[in-house]
Amino acid sequence: MSELYARRREALRTQLRERGLDALLVVDLLNIRYLTGFTGSNAALAVNATDSPGDEKNTVFCTDGRYLTQAEKQVPDLERLIDRPSATALVDKMATQKSKHRRTGYESHHVSVEQLDGLADAAGGIELIRAPGMIEKLRIVKDDTEVEALRMACAAADRALAELVENGGLRPGRSEREVARELEDRMLANGAEKPSFETIVATGANSAIPHHRPTDAVLKPGDFVKMDFGALVDGYHSDMTRTVVLGEPEDWQKEIYELVAESQAAGRAALKPGADVKDIDAASRDVIDRAGRGAEFLHGLGHGVGLQIHEAPSLARTGEGTLSAGMAVTVEPGVYLAGKGGVRIEDTLVVREAGPELLTLTTKQLMVV
């Protein structure tokens, strides 16, 4: 794994050299995990642009004494400094070798004004330059290790839902909270570290609320039950939504379910390298617009997933940029009839040259339970 993290740091150095920066001070813990594998709750990292894989003598990792042993195991290939506050301690150390760090970028989107004051006091003549989003730019395209973690996270969620249905967990008389709790427990039993986010279970009219939080509302015959959930595996998040019906569906339920399924299929089919994110949203949204229900599709089509449940790119009318092979995204159109019920169908997929790779494998046919 050390070689994997070394390659990621070298990719960051390419950006640093292009921007004329001597180093980057990394303070965001997810970005530090991406670059080193460290999973503790306090750390900072100084990546020097002049280093190279196998010769990173000027790149230094810092954490505090609680993580001494953990850092030795997880970051064996870098110099380790044990001190806190870690970011300030690193800048202070960099100031002793000012000629190697004259222009040092920092993650301005993660550094508070107060923290910046402390860094400036320690800089000793080093120029601190705002450098937001450099690592997030690298994280947007997933490598094979990341995709495998996403694949396992999706499999844990798929199995949890299958077990829930097979064991009668979706039945009239249960509350939304009870179903959500069981679904989360089953994800844990299938290898998840924890849920990706607070599980959404919404029954009846509540299913028309896109991000309803589970309550004591009871599942009833004839209800739509919308479940939006995911599993966290090796730090990577899955995201899936399925909507089922308790008993034989009515015509209006079949109509909107089939509409959302058609919209979701159109969005999936549009996932191609080079496609504009706005066009992906439009491909899915146009299906619902043509049916006269555009006003009932209340959110963007999807988002990136990875070390965060929501990351770039944004598949929405307001999104920017184009897709690249290796991006992991969701496609999740919905139609919501206020006071009546709603449907969302969501998958996690990886953009590929030959067509998107589907990671969430639970059927998208309307499940009648």
> What is the Cα–Cα distance from 296 to 344, expressed in whole angstroms?
11
Mean pLDDT computed over 88-97:
95
Contact between 201 and 225 under an 8 Å Cβ cutoff? The reply is: yes
- Measured from the Cβ of residue 101, the count of other Cβ atoms closer than 10 Å reads 29
DSSP 287-348: HHHHTT-GGG--S-SEEE-SSSSSEEEEESTT--SB--TT-EEEE--EEEETTTEEEE-BEE
Q: Tell me the whole-structure pTM to 2 decimals.
A: 0.96
For residue 243, how many other CB atoms are within 10 A of its CB? 26
Amino acid at 338: A
Structure confidence at residue 170 as a pLDDT band (50, 70, 90): very high
d(CA 80, CA 71): 8
Q: Answer yes or no: is pLDDT of 263 > 80.
A: yes
1 pLDDT higher than 90? no
| Residue 149 and residue 156 in contact, taking contact as beta carbons nearer than 8 Å | no
Give the pLDDT of residue 125. 87
Q: Count CB atoms within 10 A of the CB of residue 15.
A: 17
List CB contacts of 311: < 8 A, sequence separation 6 or more. Answer: 136, 139, 140, 303, 304, 305
Q: How would residue 342 be classed by pLDDT, with cut points 50, 70 and 90?
A: very high
How does pLDDT run across 298-316, given as a tens digit for each residue? Answer: 999 999 999 999 999 999 9
- pLDDT tens digits, residue range 109-159? 999 999 999 999 999 989 999 999 999 999 999 999 999 999 999 999 999
179-193 pLDDT per residue, tens: 999 999 999 999 999
Interatomic CA distance for residues 93 and 59, integer angstroms: 11
Q: Quick check: 227 and 179 in contact, CB under 8 A?
A: yes
pLDDT in tens, 191-211: 999 999 999 999 999 999 999
pLDDT digits (tens, 9 = 90+) for 20-78: 999 999 999 999 999 999 999 999 999 999 999 889 999 999 999 999 999 999 999 99
